[in-house]
A and B are shown apart, each in its own frame.
Chain A
Amino acid sequence: MPADIFNLDKVSFDYGPGAPALDGVDLTVAGGESVALLGANASGKTTLLRLLAGLASPTKGAITAFGVPLTAEALRDRGFTASFRRRVGFVFQNAEAQLFSPSVAAEVAFGPLQLGLDESAVAERVRDTLALLGIEHLAERAPFHLSGGEKRKVAIGSVLSLAPDILLFDEPTTGLDPRSRAWLVRFLRALREAGKTLVTATHDLDIVGRLADRAVVLGEDHRVWSDGPVGAVLADHPLLVGANLAEP
């Protein structure tokens, strides 16, 4: 399998004239690695993940995914998007936004049903996913009435049930209590050990060392400030202070 999953070449993105969110970002994500995307608020982490997920296209620059250009034009092709989206899962920062089904079980079943799996296979996936996340007891509840942490688990489950190879997580630990947070970190490691590729946006430096091999730092100027082994990046205190990730 070729090494690169994503390749970004001088990618810029803005939400309108004078509202830049990314500026000249070069980035490569290789298969099977776990990359942490670090950056202060508004540095562009979510925007970068949305580009990787093919939900938006760069204003400037180019992205290749799996060795082929990830263009707006390619994403309008049904076959391309179907297999792209099956392989790339995106867990949003705002968990509640991505929940739209009447029950937790239906939410988790949404993806597998679209894959065309038969009923018993879908049921198995839903059962396994809920068990994995420890939320079997919520199966029949309406996602919208759950607690914040529960919503996040359902959101993760709704993406996992598609069995994606690449998982994009946006601030996955926000709003989780310590035990859930520790569990999530172990869980992400387990995914990585199973050969999944992970890109996790966060400014929670405590978890980064445990879940990532590599860290990419986005500065408040929306550019990549540093990209290297997680240990080296975390040891560079002046860099972290400069990027508003640590207190001086």
Chain B
Amino acid sequence: MPAPTATTRPPEDPPPDGRAPGTSLPVWLSAAGAADNEGSWAPRRSGRRTEAFLDRTLAEFAHVTRHAVFAEEVARRDGFLQRLDPRVKLGGFIALVLAVAVARSPVTLVLVTLLSLAGAARSRVPAGFLVKRVWVVVAVFAGVMALPATLNVVTPGVAALRLPFGLAVTWSGLRGASLLVLRASASATLAAVLTLTTRWDRLLAAARGAGIPPAFVVVVDLAYRYLFVLMGAALETFEARKARTVGSLRLAQNQGFVAAVAGATLQKARVMSEEVHAAMVARGYDGSPRLARLSPLGAGGVLGLAAFVAGAYIVFILDRVLVVLGA
């Protein structure tokens, strides 16, 4: 190969004095000291608050991240439920949720909730963390579904509490509503225990094992992953904006900024999805996902699954007995 000739020296090479043309700074940049300093060295307070909106958004992002990081750590702990095959857990979850759905005695529902909590305790899931997850679901559910069910317009019966406009809270309404809330907390606790003790990838593998179409599983998986990637991208953009926020923006500018970030994030999402697609194609993806086969369940797994189904059946029978006994 011929050596490059001396005349091919690129024009951008630094001149012999060692200073490239592009490194002599303009006056406004090289003048030291910020103009707003007014002789005081430390930045001075103005007593006015920064944009609460940006701070709230960033705090929200940080909170979600902390939560996800912690949940992942819990799922990796060495505990009773973490050691079970995810398919066994998913199967058991489905069986127990069915039992909960048809249960008519509050005692059964409390029992299932307590049992799930005990399982969580044996699996080193912090009680506070679990309760917080469940509580949100139950609170929303109670507000939307259960509260209206206590009223005489929904559930007629003997009034327990009279309200204005001819409304009243009925005893049968209260009973129905408490059953609804208990059922919601039992299901939510089961779901929280399952998701907190099973890593996301293993849960998806179990879903594939349960016969959910691979294409669906892949889409859910990508959506979940890219939610975090996109959230990260949006977060960084917000932070970059924050790092360059040196004056206060007018409302219109702020709205413009939010629109710009939304636009930029969508652009990024599009480019990212193109890149992801290209990366998948480069690794042999042809439009129909072929996912890794799961290893056979094994005798222990089958036994575990059988135990869960039997447990759910016992819960079902117990519930019938309790209802007959009037509990």
Residues of A within 8 A of B (CB): 1-2, 15-19, 50, 53, 55-56, 65-68, 74-90, 92, 94, 96-102, 110-111, 114-116, 124-125, 128-129, 131-134, 144, 158-160, 162-163, 165, 179, 182-183, 186-187, 189-191, 194-196
For A101, list chain B residues within 8 Å (CB).
260
B237 proximal to A (CB < 8 A)? yes
**B50, B243, B247, B267: the one within 8 Å of A89 (CB):** B243
Given known A-B contacts A78-B48, A132-B25, A83 and B73 have beta carbons under 8 A apart: no
Q: Is the CB of B42 within 8 A of A67?
A: yes
Q: How far is the CA of A68 from the CA of B23 in the complex (A)?
A: 33
Q: Are A78 and B244 in contact (CB under 8 A)?
A: no
Pair B245/A16 contact, Cβ less than 8 Å: no
B14 touches A (CB below 8 Å): yes
Chain B interface extent, by class: 35 or more
Chain B residues, Cβ within 8 Å of A99: 240, 264
| B residues at A contact (CB < 8 Å) | 10, 12, 14, 19-20, 22-26, 28-34, 36-37, 41-50, 55, 62, 65-67, 69-70, 73, 233, 236-237, 239-249, 257, 260-261, 264, 267-268, 271
B70 touches A102 (CB 8 A): no
Enumerate 29 A-B pairs (CB-CB under 8 Å) in ascending A order: A16-B67, A19-B73, A50-B239, A66-B42, A67-B41, A68-B43, A76-B49, A78-B46, A79-B45, A79-B47, A82-B245, A85-B246, A86-B34, A90-B243, A92-B240, A98-B237, A98-B240, A100-B264, A110-B244, A114-B245, A115-B247, A128-B26, A128-B29, A132-B26, A163-B29, A189-B23, A194-B29, A194-B32, A195-B32
Q: Kindly list chain A residues whose C-beta atoms are within 8 Å of the C-beta of B268.
A: 96, 144
Judging by beta carbons under 8 Å apart, are B264 and A116 in contact?
Answer: no
CB-nearest residue of chain B to A81: B50
Please give, as numbers and ranges, the residues of chain A lying within 8 Å of B237 by CB-CB distance. 97-98, 100
Chain A residues lying within 8 Å of B42, measured Cβ to Cβ, are 66-68
CB contacts (< 8 Å) of B243 on chain A: these are 53, 55, 85, 88-90, 98, 159
Given A66-B43, A190-B25: A79 in contact with B246 (beta carbons within 8 A):
no
User: Is B10's CB under 8 angstroms from A179's CB?
Assistant: yes
CA distance A110 to B242 in the complex (A): 12
B43 touches A87 (CB 8 A): yes
Smallest CB gap from A67: residue in B: B42
What's the nearest-Cβ distance from chain B to residue A173, in Å? 16
Q: Contact at A77–B247, with CB atoms within 8 Å? A: no
In angstroms, Cα B241 to Cα A114, docked, is: 11
Interface centre among B30, B33, B34, B44 (most CB of A within 10 A): B34
Q: Tell me the smallest distance from the CB of A162 to a CB of chain B, in Å.
A: 6
18 more A-B residue pairs beyond the given contacts A78-B50, A100-B264, with a C-beta to C-beta distance below 8 A: A16-B67, A19-B73, A66-B43, A74-B45, A77-B45, A77-B49, A79-B47, A80-B44, A87-B34, A100-B241, A102-B260, A115-B246, A131-B22, A132-B25, A134-B12, A183-B12, A183-B20, A195-B32
Also in contact, A77 and B48, with CB within 8 A (given A100-B257, A114-B245, A190-B25): yes
CA gap between A133 and B45 in the complex, in Å: 34
Known: A68-B42, A186-B14, A194-B25. A86 touches B246 (CB 8 A): yes
